Amino acid sequence: METKNLGFNTQLIHSGAIKDQFGSVTVPIYQTSTFKFRDADHGAACFADNDEGYIYTRINNPTLNALEESIAELENGYRGIACSSGMAAVNTIYMALLEQGSHIISTAAVYGPSRVVMENHYSRFGVEASYLDTTDIESLKSAIRPYTKMIFIESPSNPTMKITDLEAVANLAKENNIITVADNTFCSPYLQKPINLGFDVVFHSVTKFLNGHADVVGGLIVARKKSVYDKLRSMMVMLGCNMDPHQAYLVIRGLKTLSLRMDRSQDNARKIAEFLENHPKVKWVAYPGLVSHPQHELANKQMSGSGGVISFELKDGFEAGKVLMNNVKLAILAVSLGGVETLIQHPASMTHAKINRAARISSGISDGLVRLSVGIENIEDIINDLDQAMRKI
Ligand SMILES: *Cc1c(COP(=O)(O)O)cnc(C)c1O
């Protein structure tokens, strides 16, 4: 069924549907590495044009294709590419669209490994990078060089929750013939559609909200145009970082409830953000849905909801963070986000512990900063849990 012009919730359920000889309602797991050709001419036709039929699962597979069709429709792009992880998607994008002598501009507080792999490894192949506060469009503009090839944005950024004006970035990039890439992991297409705001490429760590059940690691890329898609697809195939059919099946299953999960998660998150904002042991709360968020207006303009992730700062710093981590009972002490269960972590003692303290603080990750990924449990239970653990500080 054609779902292109239907509503988002309908697309979540019906896009990427498969037609097989049994009339399967769900997308089957095509757990095969290779596909039989009818005859020599069919084999030749498959190799001449990938759309003719399936060849080999690293190149494509019906289960992966169903998920790719679905995400392309949800993000309003040309086509999707399913990868083994979010980082596989990042590397596919860097490898396909940058070359020796290219320059990339990116959000300073991007997901750590997206920056580390660029600074430690792509630098070895002659790619230069500038990391800056992309909320400041003027500084972004002055960082552009003649050989700037890509602007890579994560908004909201992690865990600082800063919002970059995607439409302004896309316009600036177009004037300078620069390709734009958005990490849309925090919002999902339910809350934000970077392609509609002028971006060329969107990707996700599917591990987070899209799958939503903390049981799969995966990545998805969507390109707005065929020319960019073709480069990305052939690079993914050459890197060999395809998603596995079983993994794709779980993601297809998780994706169907994206809007239901996101609605509950952000409803809970807003109430928790308000609870924390009024708590005497909390210095500040960063959540785009709060009027106190410095970019609340911009968030309202480009996002249709505020998401399920909150950062907040404990007044008593590093030790207070550890006490909170050691005393929560319902919230699970773990990294990652976007699942049905509430997760809590303390970047200064965990994800960012290896970074020099001054550098960590200057990138906005202070000693008492706590990141909360709000799940879909009963709100009173999450608040009571945080409340009892905060009393121990
Ligand atoms: C988790 C994450 C990634 C990396 O994805 P993996 O699936 O862990 O490889 C990239 N960007 C953001 C914003 C993330 O949260």
Q: What is the pLDDT along the chain (393 residues), one digit of tens a residue?
A: 789 899 999 999 999 999 889 999 999 999 999 999 999 999 999 999 766 799 999 999 999 999 999 999 999 999 999 999 999 999 999 999 999 999 999 998 899 899 999 999 999 999 999 999 999 999 999 999 999 999 999 999 988 899 999 999 999 999 999 999 999 999 999 999 999 999 999 999 999 999 999 999 999 999 999 999 999 999 999 999 999 999 999 999 999 999 999 999 999 999 999 999 999 999 999 999 999 999 999 999 999 999 999 999 999 999 999 999 999 999 999 999 999 999 999 999 998 888 789 888 887 889 999 999 999 999 999 999 999 999 999
Residue 3 belongs to a domain: no
Q: How far apart are CA 107 and CA 115, in angstroms?
A: 9
The binding-site residues of ligand 1, defined as CB within 6 angstroms of any ligand atom, are: 85-87, 111, 154, 158, 183, 185-186, 205, 207-208, 217, 219
Residue of 30, 54, 94, 111 marked catalytic: 111
Residue 2 belongs to a domain: no
Domain check: are 251 and 262 in the same one? no
**pLDDT at 353 (0 to 100):** 85
pTM above 0.95, yes or no: yes
The torsion defined by the Cα of 120, 124, 127 and 129, in degrees rounded to 10, comes to 30
**pLDDT at 166 (0 to 100):** 98
Domain check: are 249 and 278 in the same one? no
Phi/psi-derived region of residue 16, left when phi > 0, alpha when psi is between -120 and 50, beta in every other case? left
Domain check: are 140 and 226 in the same one? yes
Note down the domain range covering 370: 258-390
Domain check: are 220 and 313 in the same one? no
Q: 111 an active-site residue?
A: yes
Q: How far is the CA of 208 from the centre of ligand 1 (A)?
A: 8
CATH code assigned at 211: 3.40.640.10
**pLDDT at 51 (0 to 100):** 66
Contact at 8 Å (CB) between 247 and 218?
yes
CATH code assigned at 346: 3.90.1150.10
Q: How far apart are CA 268 and CA 254, in angstroms?
A: 20
**pLDDT at 274 (0 to 100):** 98
Q: How far apart are CA 60 and CA 379, in angstroms?
A: 42
Residue linked to tokens 């990039």: 173
Q: How far apart are CA 353 and CA 306, in angstroms?
A: 28
Q: 136 an active-site residue?
A: no
Contact at 8 Å (CB) between 363 and 314?
no
Domain check: are 89 and 233 in the same one? yes
**pLDDT at 211 (0 to 100):** 98
Q: How far apart are CA 133 and CA 135, in angstroms?
A: 5
Q: How far is the CA of 309 from the centre of ligand 1 (A)?
A: 14
Residue 182 belongs to a domain: yes
Domain count, the chain: 2
Of the candidates 300, 307, 303, which has an alpha carbon nearest to the alpha carbon of residue 265?
A: 307
